[in-house]
Amino acid sequence: MKNFKKNLFGKIGNQKINLYTFENNRGHCLEIMNYGACIRKYTSPDKDGIFSNVVLSLDRLEDYIDTPPNFGFALGPVAGRIGNASFKLGDDFYKLEKNLGDTHLHSASTGFNKSVFEVESVDNNGIVMFLDRPHMTGGYPGNLKAWIEYRLGEDGSLTINYRAKSDKDTLFNPSNHSYFNLGDDIGLGLRDHVLKIRSNHLVPIDSQGLPIEDYNPTDWNPDQGLARLNKEINRGMDLEDIFSYPHPQIQDTNGLDHPFYLDKHQSDSIEEVALLSHRKTGRSISIKTSAPCLVVYTANGPNPGIKINGKQPPQHMGIALETQIMPDAINRPYLGNIILKKDQVFTSTTIITPDTCY
């Protein structure tokens, strides 16, 4: 590994926002920003050995502060949606900020994506970032201590380790919101990308983006159209074919904004669950995770005012592959458990590994 670099990116008030850059001997590069514990750069070679950044990023700190799509940010303490922006924990009822209809998404205005992290440690292989969240920040109980570690391997792999503990029972379900685009022209969006997910549960969502009320991972029979789409994605399907698939779950959202309940041999083991590849460049990334769910979002809305490499990106500019526990699990325990008990330690790992194919 080469020596890491630290550069000032800007300031928020009196707080310095720095970029930490890591590079291995093969040329893979990782750049992390302490605002939002953000992945700003992650490079991977194409089939000809030419490296390019495969996560979408912005040029200025001001753009990260003002732009809503959460480019590369850590999400937490709860990444997924919480229905009615409220939950019950023990005998207490908590109300949260509504920031998407009647739901609470990505922990709203006080989430990790709006926080300046401390750097607990850094070396040539990566960085550990720390955040201390006081009791009732954003409506969540407990003084929460959270750590996010990013490590770049000599094989180009990116390992993300999450850890947290609280002095009261609280909720914790983190993720990362990097948008991947393995092509070399942002203007083409997700053209030529193929997505493969090891899951037989493409979970349908309601108008609020929550799993539909009658979904249960232990007893689920999707309609034939959704089952056929799920089977194709399980085998590997062009994203353009997904976008044009004639099913309301796709057409009503203009793409994917859906949880996939993962098929894993053991619920908390680190297993490969997804593969994203690009036909033209030959780039691919695999996703391994200890999490039980993958939320896939294909940037389905317009992107006014956003510039990437000097261009306004199109609809479907990138794909977010968010490893986590199922959205709204706190209100439907059969979807998973996001309760972090007092003094217990939460841990989760996701590993992204680049390769070439085609």
CA distances from 163 to 76, 105, 132, 177 (A): 12, 21, 12, 17
| DSSP letter for each residue of 282-314 | -EEEEEEESSSEEEEE---S--TT--BTTBPPP
Neighbours of 257 (CB within 10 A): 19
- From the list 32, 22, 30, 31, the residue with the least C-alpha distance to 1 is 22
Q: Is 94 annotated as a binding residue?
A: no
Q: Of these residues, 23, 31, 149, 322, which one is catalytic?
A: 322
Q: What are residue 218's phi and psi, to 5 degrees? A: -95, -10
Query: Which helix (H) or strand (E) segment is 120 a member of?
Result: strand 118-123
Our answer to whether residue 154 is catalytic in this structure is no
Whether the Cβ atoms of residue 166 and residue 342 lie closer than 8 Å to each other = yes
Q: Is 104 annotated as a binding residue?
A: no
Q: Of these residues, 28, 104, 106, 177, which one is catalytic?
A: 177
Q: Which two tokens stand for residue 44?
A: 């991977």
Our answer to whether residue 149 is catalytic in this structure is no
Q: Is 169 annotated as a binding residue?
A: no
- From the list 324, 54, 28, the residue with the least C-alpha distance to 193 is 54
Q: Is 257 annotated as a binding residue?
A: yes
**Annotated binding site for beta-D-galactose, which residues?**
177-179, 257
**Annotated binding site, which residues?**
177-179, 257
- Active-site annotation, residues: 177, 322
